[in-house]
């Protein structure tokens, strides 16, 4: 290709050749003028300027020793005068074992060095670091070198030298480092090959185990030292690069060795600073006595690297018309003076030539914007023009002034009227009155629009004029334009569709074409761009309604999709958000937490606290809390709605915002209060209840955690381990269907979803009836559809009801797989060994002995006269109280139906809660396994007279086993024995019974003798089963007890079978000592 071009050129005539040269000259001149091509700045050569006391040639200072640390004082080591200096520190060491050198090198006790290169692992080491010009700080700070490798030095030497004209940003040439180390005795050469820069410097250090080093460098290298260190040899050499890369061999004879090399970059000797015309306002009129008028906008930048400008000179036309002139750094809207935003650099004296001195402007290749601003004299000559233009710069050496191409704005003096206006509304009103009829009124200057919504009588926020308009108090006032600021709405990035010079409204224009705001704080959801400390988030993208339209409500800006305007953005998509974290929060009106902004909840009542770029949080009414702002989510403390606990806004995973965090106190329940008409105002302390003796999650099985709540409550989610926001806090209790699939509620007796505000149950007379098991009342639904649905043969089959706080969870151990204990066996009534109790089986309607839970009993006993209210609602008449023959059986009838709370409650009979849902100090409403047990006597009548049961009087039967009972007509009574129900009606008469859960099985119901599937031994062949809860096989003989009449039993042979006391005297329990061989039973089985 080159040969072709040469032949073409040689074949041209002289005119063609000259034309070609001119074309190339023009092209390159254009490229240079446009900045597309710039000549490489000149560079000074890197030079050793060490000025200390040595001791080696070229000013290399030295400190030696064994273990260190080492100090080189400022007297020994000094940097001479120069620019762009670099202080190089070389450390050569020897150790007993191989390692990679690490150390700290500080200057003045606190300035840390930068490592350039170090040798790899070996017993000899070389390390090179440096300090830049900004760290040298004169010659007053000593250097301290300390070993941090953990391997002790057996010999160590520190050398320092100072070099000038080194590039500070990147002192080391790319690819300009190299190192090696060897302990094998086979390496005797360091083959140098490092990248270099013209006018740079290459430094090499070598350390061997020779006492006298005797290293031979390549030709052309300067070797300040090659000496014996402490038991080893040290050497250093440097030179200006002779090639790129710099190569050569350093040789020696030694068993061990290490080497390191670094190549330094030179600094350019000088750059030029160029001035170009910046953004000048279009020429405009300035009134006599007006101030802060922009006369010139210009830029300054370097052609390369950095430079410092210390003065700017400008020309000024008609300087007599100018009373003041100033130079500003233009920090805001380019070409516009903005008080408080632009930085005053210097004040000049008006004249044909003005000097702005005292500057220290650090410039780079990125152009900076500057303004010359003038004040017009009160007696300025009307119609004269004023123009300011930059003409010269003073630049710190070695940099210098470059090209200057600047032109100023033409200011024309007009007459001025003197009066005092201190605010915008002095002329315009607050706010400017909107023009009626939707048209522009040129005579009054009124626009149709929305000023009145942004200020004045319909003021909705903290809006000031300069949020939208340029600051006309300092620039471009009365210039025939209605202008708008760039950072519209007072926020960086905010825009208005007419906020540019070509779209500004003409002051005399009668047409009107409104625009829209975009990305302004005042029309945003408040998720960014606030004035809160530490908030660096930008304003979220948004578009306002068209100017002059009417806003439809709060949700125009925030809470889009929410009728009340509650912020609806997803938590942590832009910032923390707990407004919609639950139905409880979502139901609150704005004034509950923002009372300082709105006292009504649906209108702004304190305008200064709205759209003011701050979060004004204050409680209302009965609510109480304190709020502390934090950019990552503020903290509310002592929250009345959270039981006095604390909560971090947006942090649903914190302990203060999960189930146990809130429900560790009694908490206010405003939504429950609304749903119940004020009956329910609080939720109880569930955590404390779980920690009591009895409950679903006993403290001995581990403290209750958030995951445990999901076993029963749909308000929790197994998937998240926290709240299910769909239902939590909406005022209702939603119980999970134990046998459902997923997040499904329990059903009522008609099959519909069921929920309630708070549990309720009644113990009044008439509150139990024979068909109550079909009734849609809370106590019955919870008993059958919830409690017994979980406590049945298959447990909780709904896998979402299994807590994750424990071991291997399953249907029988839903609380995290926690085993309930060795006594929880299938024989004792558990659905599976170690699992929950199969209560449903114990209440089977076909059981021979059962309390009527889930269905009534069809029996002739107990007679209603032997029961207390509300359990005596049947059998108002009977055919006889005493059965005299098999031919005269009792008339059978359905019993009333009971619920779990008839036994599992307290003596005080609470009607708005259950004690077994979470926990209580006891699990029953009375005592058992004692004389006159109050649990039994809650339903069964206690007689009066001779003892609790009144069974010692044959003449006047009464009490539980008195007239009308199944044991009404026995010849004798054993009063003390009969005081203990368990002697007959539990599976054992040992004090305390069989323990949990065997005692529950004895009371709930059964169909067999304990620990067997058999019925009574004498009637097993005839299908006889233990009736009347008579299950005790300890106190009876093999063929007793025996009913009056039953299949396989001869009528009239009813007996208890006690053989005269021997079988009934068990331990400390007092037996009957009476053989009830004949008696007239009161029931038919």
Q: pLDDT value at position 368?
A: 95
Q: Six-digit token pair at 1082?
A: 């009161």
Model confidence at 507, pLDDT cuts 50, 70, 90, reads low
Residue 959 has pLDDT above 60, yes or no: no
Q: What is the mean pLDDT of residues 1046-1074?
A: 44
Residue 764 has pLDDT above 80, yes or no: yes
- Residue 481, classed as helix, strand or coil, is strand
Q: pLDDT value at position 1067?
A: 34
Residue 654 has pLDDT above 60, yes or no: no
CA angle centred on 547, ends 545 and 548, rounded to 5°? 110
Q: What is the mean pLDDT of residues 9-35?
A: 53
Rounded to an integer, what distance in angstroms lies between the CA atom of residue 622 and that of residue 462?
28
Q: pLDDT value at position 563?
A: 75
State the distance between the two ends of the chain, measured CA to CA, in whole angstroms. 122
Residue 457 has pLDDT above 50, yes or no: no
Residue indicated by tokens 């929410």: 562
The single-letter DSSP state of residue 111 is E
Residue 193 has pLDDT above 50, yes or no: yes
Q: pLDDT value at position 511?
A: 64
Residue 461 has pLDDT above 70, yes or no: no
> Residue 604, Cα to own-chain centre: how many angstroms?
30
Question: What backbone phi and psi angles, to 5 degrees, belong to 522?
Answer: -70, -15
Residue 804 has pLDDT above 90, yes or no: no
Q: pLDDT value at position 48?
A: 82
Nearest by Cα to 989 from 931, 1079, 1069, 1052: 1069
Least confident of 262-271, 547-556, 766-775, 1048-1057: 1048-1057
pLDDT in tens, 870-889: 988 775 444 444 444 444 55
Nearest by Cα to 1079 from 980, 966, 955, 982: 966
Tally of CB atoms within 10 A around 423: 11
Rounded to an integer, what distance in angstroms lies between the CA atom of residue 227 and that of residue 60?
13
Residue 262 has pLDDT above 80, yes or no: yes
Model confidence at 427, pLDDT cuts 50, 70, 90, reads low
Q: Is 896 exposed, middle or buried (0-12, 13-18, 19+ CB in 10 A)?
A: buried
Range among 375-379, 416-420, 563-567 with highest mean pLDDT value: 375-379
Q: Are 883 and 889 in contact (CB under 8 A)?
A: yes
Q: pLDDT value at position 192?
A: 95
Q: pLDDT value at position 1075?
A: 40
Residue indicated by tokens 């009838």: 893
Range among 465-469, 919-923, 947-951 with highest mean pLDDT value: 919-923
Output the average pLDDT for the chain: 78
Q: pLDDT value at position 955?
A: 36
Residue bearing the bigger pLDDT, 703 or 958: 703
Q: Quick one: what percent of the chain has pLDDT higher than 90? A: 28
Range among 191-200, 920-929, 1074-1083 with highest mean pLDDT value: 191-200
Residue 522 has pLDDT above 90, yes or no: no
Residue 268 has pLDDT above 70, yes or no: yes
Residue 15 has pLDDT above 70, yes or no: no
> Where do the H-state alpha helices sit in 867-970?
934-937
Q: pLDDT value at position 947?
A: 44
Q: Are 524 and 542 in contact (CB under 8 A)?
A: yes
Q: Six-digit token pair at 150?
A: 């953990």
Rounded to an integer, what distance in angstroms lies between the CA atom of residue 470 and that of residue 490?
11
Tally of CB atoms within 10 A around 144: 18
Domain ranges of the chain: 2-33, 47-264, 272-414, 449-546, 844-1085
The single-letter DSSP state of residue 827 is T
CATH architecture, range 272-414: Sandwich (2.60)
Pairing of strands 284-287, 411-414: parallel
Q: What is the mean pLDDT of residues 512-532?
A: 79
Nearest by Cα to 569 from 540, 598, 590, 591: 540
Q: Quick one: what percent of the chain has pLDDT higher than 70? A: 73
pLDDT in tens, 29-38: 444 444 444 4
pLDDT in tens, 679-707: 887 888 888 888 787 777 654 566 787 77
Residue 435 has pLDDT above 50, yes or no: yes
Residue indicated by tokens 């609806």: 568
Residue 308 has pLDDT above 70, yes or no: yes
Q: Are 80 and 153 in contact (CB under 8 A)?
A: no
Model confidence at 354, pLDDT cuts 50, 70, 90, reads very high
Question: What backbone phi and psi angles, to 5 degrees, belong to 255?
Answer: -80, -30
pLDDT in tens, 108-166: 767 888 888 999 999 999 999 998 887 886 556 688 999 999 999 998 889 888 898 88
Q: pLDDT value at position 513?
A: 73
Q: What is the mean pLDDT of residues 708-714?
A: 88
Q: pLDDT value at position 49?
A: 81
Q: Six-digit token pair at 1075?
A: 């053989």
Rounded to an integer, what distance in angstroms lies between the CA atom of residue 936 and that of residue 928?
7
Rounded to an integer, what distance in angstroms lies between the CA atom of residue 599 and that of residue 604?
8
Q: pLDDT value at position 226?
A: 84
Q: What is the mean pLDDT of residues 486-508?
A: 69
Residue indicated by tokens 């708005």: 912
Q: pLDDT value at position 523?
A: 80
Residue 856 has pLDDT above 60, yes or no: yes
Rounded to an integer, what distance in angstroms lies between the CA atom of residue 300 and that of residue 751?
82
Rounded to an integer, what distance in angstroms lies between the CA atom of residue 933 and that of residue 980?
8
Least confident of 759-768, 911-920, 1028-1037: 1028-1037
């Amino acid at each position: 290709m080159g040969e072709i071009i040469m032949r073409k050129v040689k074949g041209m005539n002289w005119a063609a050749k000259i034309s070609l040269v001119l074309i190339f000259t023009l092209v390159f001149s254009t490229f240079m003028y446009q900045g597309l091509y710039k000549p490489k700045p000149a560079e000074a050569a890197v030079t050793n300027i060490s000025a200390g006391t040595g001791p080696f040639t070229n000013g290399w200072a030295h400190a030696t020793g064994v273990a260190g640390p080492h100090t080189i004082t400022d007297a020994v080591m000094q940097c001479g005068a120069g620019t762009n200096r670099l202080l190089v520190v070389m450390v050569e060491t020897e150790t007993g074992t191989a390692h990679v050198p690490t150390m700290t090198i500080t200057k003045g006790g606190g300035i840390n060095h930068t490592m350039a290169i170090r040798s790899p692992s070996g017993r000899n080491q070389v390390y090179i670091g440096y300090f830049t010009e900004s760290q040298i700080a004169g010659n007053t700070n000593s250097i301290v070198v300390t070993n941090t490798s953990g391997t002790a030095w057996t010999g160590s030497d520190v050398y320092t030298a100072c070099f000038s004209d080194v590039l500070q940003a990147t002192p080391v040439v790319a690819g300009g480092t190299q190192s090696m180390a060897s302990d094998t005795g086979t390496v005797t050469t360091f083959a140098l090959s490092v990248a270099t820069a013209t006018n740079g410097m290459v430094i090499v250090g070598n350390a061997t185990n020779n006492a006298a080093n005797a290293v031979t460098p390549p030709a052309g290298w300067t070797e300040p030292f090659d000496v014996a260190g402490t038991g080893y040899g040290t050497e250093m050499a440097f030179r200006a690069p002779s090639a790129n890369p710099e190569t050569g061999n350093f040789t020696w004879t030694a068993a061990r060795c290490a080497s390191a090399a670094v190549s330094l970059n030179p600094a350019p000797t000088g750059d030029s600073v160029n001035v170009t015309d910046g953004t000048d306002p279009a020429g405009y009129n300035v009134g006599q006595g007006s101030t802060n008028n922009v006369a010139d906008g210009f830029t300054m930048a370097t052609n390369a690297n950095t430079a410092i400008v210390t003065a700017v000179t400008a020309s000024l036309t008609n300087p007599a018309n100018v009373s003041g002139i100033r130079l500003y750094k233009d920090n805001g809207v380019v070409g516009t003076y903005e008080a408080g935003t632009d930085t005053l650099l210097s004040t000049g004296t008006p004249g044909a030539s003005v000097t702005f001195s005292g500057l220290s402007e650090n410039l780079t290749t990125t152009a900076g914007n500057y303004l010359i601003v003038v004040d017009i004299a009160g007696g300025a000559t009307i119609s004269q023009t004023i123009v300011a233009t930059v003409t010269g710069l003073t630049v710190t050496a070695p940099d210098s002034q470059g090209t200057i191409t600047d032109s100023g704005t033409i200011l024309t003096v007009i007459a001025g009227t003197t009066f005092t206006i201190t605010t915008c509304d002095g002329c315009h009103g607050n706010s400017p009155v909107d023009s009626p009829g939707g048209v522009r009124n040129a005579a009054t200057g009124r626009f149709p629009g929305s000023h009145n919504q942004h200020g004045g009588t319909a003021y909705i926020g903290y809006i000031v004029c300069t949020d939208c308009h340029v600051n006309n108090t300092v620039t471009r006032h009365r210039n025939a334009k209605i202008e708008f600021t760039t950072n519209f709405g007072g926020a960086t990035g905010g825009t208005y569709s007419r906020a540019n010079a070509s779209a500004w409204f003409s002051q005399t224009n009668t047409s009107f074409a409104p625009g829209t705001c975009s990305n302004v704080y005042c029309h945003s959801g408040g998720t960014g761009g606030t004035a809160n400390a530490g908030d660096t988030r930008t304003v979220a993208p948004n578009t306002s309604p068209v100017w002059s339209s009417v806003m439809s409500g709060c949700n125009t800006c925030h809470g889009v999709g929410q009728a009340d305007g509650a912020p609806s953005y997803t938590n942590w998509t832009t910032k923390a958000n707990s407004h919609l974290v639950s139905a409880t929060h979502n139901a609150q009106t704005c004034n509950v937490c923002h009372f300082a902004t709105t006292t009504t909840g649906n209108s702004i009542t304190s305008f200064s606290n709205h759209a003011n770029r701050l979060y004004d949080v204050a409680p209302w009414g009965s609510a109480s809390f304190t709020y502390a702002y934090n950019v990552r989510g503020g903290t509310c403390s002592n929250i009345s709605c959270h039981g006095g606990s604390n909560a971090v806004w947006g942090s649903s995973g914190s302990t203060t915002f999960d189930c146990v965090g809130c429900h560790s106190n009694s908490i206010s329940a405003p939504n429950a209060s609304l749903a119940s008409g004020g009956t329910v105002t609080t939720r109880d302390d569930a955590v404390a209840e779980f920690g009591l003796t009895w409950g679903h999650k006993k403290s001995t099985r581990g403290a209750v955690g958030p995951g445990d709540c999901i076993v029963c409550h749909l308000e929790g989610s197994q998937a998240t381990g926290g709240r299910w926001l769909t239902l939590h806090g909406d005022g209702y209790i939603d119980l999970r269907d134990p046998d459902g699939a997923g997040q499904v509620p329990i059903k009522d007796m008609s099959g519909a979803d069921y929920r309630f505000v708070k549990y309720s149950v009644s113990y009044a007379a008439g509150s139990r009836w024979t068909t109550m098991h079909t009734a849609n009342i809370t106590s019955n639904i919870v008993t059958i559809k919830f409690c017994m649905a979980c406590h049945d043969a298959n447990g909780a089959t709904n896998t979402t009801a299994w807590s994750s706080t424990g071991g291997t969870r399953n249907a029988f151990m839903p609380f995290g797989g926690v085993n309930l204990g060795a006594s929880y066996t299938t024989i004792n009534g558990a659905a599976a060994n170690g699992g929950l109790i199969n209560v449903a089986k114990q209440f089977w309607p076909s059981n021979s002995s059962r309390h009527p839970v889930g269905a009534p009993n069809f029996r002739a006993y107990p007679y209603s006269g032997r029961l207390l209210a509300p359990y005596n609602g049947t059998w108002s008449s009977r055919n006889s109280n005493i059965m005299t023959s098999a031919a005269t059986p009792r008339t059978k009838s359905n019993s009333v139906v009971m619920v779990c709370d008839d036994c599992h409650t307290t003596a005080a009979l609470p009607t708005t809660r259950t004690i077994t849902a979470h926990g209580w100090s006891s699990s029953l409403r009375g005592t058992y396994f004692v004389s006159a047990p109050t649990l039994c006597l809650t339903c069964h009548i206690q007689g009066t007279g001779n003892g609790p049961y009144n069974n010692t009087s044959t003449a006047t039967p009464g009490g539980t086993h008195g007239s009308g009972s199944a044991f009404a007509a026995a010849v004798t009574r054993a009063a003390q024995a009969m005081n203990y129900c368990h002697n007959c009606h539990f599976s054992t008469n040992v004090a305390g019974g069989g323990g949990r859960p065997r005692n529950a099985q004895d009371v709930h119901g059964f169909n067999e003798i304990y620990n067997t599937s058999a019925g009574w031994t004498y009637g097993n062949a005839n299908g006889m089963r233990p009736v009347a809860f008579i299950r005790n096989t300890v106190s009876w003989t093999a063929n007793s007890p025996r009913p009056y009449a039953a299949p396989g039993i001869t009528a009239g042979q009813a007996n208890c079978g006690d053989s005269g006391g021997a079988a009934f005297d068990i331990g400390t329990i007092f037996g009957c000592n009476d053989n009830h061989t004949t008696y007239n039973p009161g029931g038919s089985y």
